[in-house]
Amino acid sequence: MSAYPQIRAFGDTGFSVEFGEGIDRGVNAMVMALHAALRDAALPGVVETIPSFRALLVQYDPLVTSRAELEAKVRDMLPGLKAEASVGRLWSLPVCYDPELAPDLQEVAERCGLTPDDVVAKHCASRFFVYMLGFMPGLAYLGGLDEALHMPRRKEPRLKVPQSAVAIAESMSTIYPWESPGGWHLIGRTPLKLFDAARDEPILLAAGDEVTFRSVSRDDYAAMLAQVEAGRFDYDALKVAS
């Protein structure tokens, strides 16, 4: 009998359903399938569900339901879950890899035995998958980085990473939604805001989305940044048909 799915207690307000080990698209697809199934089922007492790499956290209100009642309903759903190859939107996000906006690009290239152009080409050739969001509002963990670019986080995290910095570490890429401390390698910058409280949907990416990056010139970056700052940028135009 498989050890998964495995249910773990988060006190009297939550439990997680773990679908496997490590960072794996197949495992995460089951997480997303249960996330979607519970959203559609709208069971009484479910407060919200939070997907992560290999587990779905189900938060519930113990005054409306109970662990026993809810866990039974969730277990009933498990056999019918179908891992979908694609559940989200596909985005094509502009990134400027100009050295001034990419302080770690040269070092990353040297460590990988590549040229900076090679690094950019590989970053732009990857189709990334949003496994989960966390750490700060709107920060997406993008799996699918070309293996040639895998490397550990910086030994000395930066105290201040600029907003919209595009970064890589381990097998992941990300975009910082906020100016914040950070230990990832900065290889570019997007003119976009991954979080903008002024938008109807402040957070751009969601778990299950797919992302590709395209290289834009410094001039194009500046032009798009001006539109973003003015609140006139058309984010819908970044969605492409998959």
Cβ atoms < 10 Å from Cβ of 24: 15
List, in order, residues 6 or more apart from 76 with CB less than 8 Å away: none
**The token pair that represents 85 in the structure block:** 């190859």
Q: What is the DSSP letter of 171?
A: T
5 binds another protein (CB under 8 A): no
Give dist(CA 203, CA 181) in Å, integer: 20
Give dist(CA 155, CA 148) in Å, integer: 20
Query: Which parts of 206-225 interact with another protein (CB under 8 A)?
Result: 206-207
137 binds another protein (CB under 8 A): yes
Out of 77, 116, 122, 135, the only residue in the binding site for another protein (CB under 8 A) is 135
Out of 41, 72, 125, 136, the only residue in the binding site for another protein (CB under 8 A) is 136
Cβ nearer to another protein, comparing 9 with 125: 9
Out of 121, 122, 178, 215, the only residue in the binding site for another protein (CB under 8 A) is 178
**The token pair that represents 41 in the structure block:** 């089922």
Q: Taking CB under 8 A as the rule, which mask of x and - marks residues 84-123 in contact with another protein?
A: ----------------------------------------
Out of 4, 37, 45, 52, the only residue in the binding site for another protein (CB under 8 A) is 52
63 binds another protein (CB under 8 A): yes
Give dist(CA 213, CA 87) in Å, integer: 19
Ramachandran category for residue 206: left, alpha or beta (phi over 0 → left; psi -120 to 50 → alpha): beta
Q: Which residues bind another protein (CB under 8 A)?
A: 8-14, 16, 22-23, 35, 47-57, 59, 62-63, 66-68, 132-139, 141, 178, 195, 197, 202-203, 206-207
